[in-house]
Amino acid sequence: MSVRICVPRESAPGETRVGLTPDAVKRLNSDDISIAIETGAGDAAGFPDSTYTEVGAEIVADRAALLGSADVVFKVAAPDAEEADQIREGAVLACLLRPHENAPLFEHLARRNVTSLALELVPRITRAQSMDALSSQSNLAGYKAVIWGAEALGRIFPLLMTAAGTLSPARVLVLGAGVAGLQAIATAKRLGADTWGYDIRSAVKEQVESLGGKFVDLEEGAPADAETEGGYAKELDEAEQARKRELLTQHVAKAEVVITTALVPGRKAPVLITDDMVERMKPGSVIIDLAGEAGGNCTLSEPGQRVVKNGVIILAPLNVPASLPYHASQLLARNLSALVTPMITEDGIAVDLEDDVIGPCCVTHAGEVRFSA
């Protein structure tokens, strides 16, 4: 029995990525799997229809017909109500579902008996590393944040010795040493900046230093239980957050570029930089707030906007991976393929809710919503 994987063109505003790339199609195509792509689905990411047909994919112009014939749907963003209605009943949907804010959609998918898998809920275990879309996309976001910071800053990053004198390196401070933060540290260091990193988890100090950064250790001997079992930083209460911000103020004031990456799944982003901290920064300094979609780590951030306050430039970009659609799509396609391929059997799709990856990331199945935010 052949399983049909279908990939529609993304309809969300500003979404340039695609759920499957030609290299992934080439790996997946077999006697057991056929692949259909909506016309133009890969155009914005740099993958025209011809690159798909060359590796054996079918190009379909009618989205409703495409989704109505699918056993599996690969998407980037969550479907809207119209798309959800078009997905064949009993099909499997895998994408970034934004599970903490999409409850009405899940009710809709459950009524249509669609099994939906949220990439955000893939557990951080060894077996699931190849399926971890949050990490693959955060890596790119960390890189791009540094590029945007360098572009907005009115000076160069590296130390430069010239006949006219020596230019000192820019100081970059990265708040949050998760996947995005560590990539930002590595990128800033490669560009020659005086690079610093901070995280409430003192255990990441070694990782920051291994990338050439210097670790901001606000308190020697900080508690070792500052992270969750899933590897995320624990959310601090407001009093503890305020105390940390006070200790961080002097470090923020010294930095020319500050990149913030702190997120708590399902919650508003924690405040790391206050109005007062921005006032103490040097004019011309730059803040890149990667938590813009969750309200921002800076109190002056406006999601998707450029703000200038006291001479400090504050950027809170949205959907950062979509600014690098070619590689973001390649990585996402590999994540989706790694997640779903083990579910494909000779008899079709097998959804094993006891599986330690599929179970946790399955949001709807057999007419029921399995996830509660």
Q: Which are the catalytic amino acids?
A: 124, 129, 132, 135, 232
Q: What are phi and psi of 133, to 5 degrees?
A: -70, -30
Distance CA 39, CA 132 (A): 28
Please identify which residue in the block is written with the tokens 């056993």: 71
Please identify which residue in the block is written with the tokens 């078009």: 86
CA distances from 246 to 218, 272, 273 (A): 10, 10, 10
Neighbours of 215 (CB within 10 A): 18
CA distances from 180 to 142, 177, 277, 289, 292 (A): 4, 7, 23, 12, 14
Query: What one-character-per-residue DSSP string does 79-95 give?
Result: P-HHHHHHSPTT-EEEE
Neighbours of 163 (CB within 10 A): 4
Distance CA 11, CA 197 (A): 37
Amino acid code (one letter) for 92 = V
CB 286 within 8 A of CB 279: no
The C-alpha angle 79, 85, 88, rounded to 5 degrees, equals 100
Residue 362 token pair: 């399955």
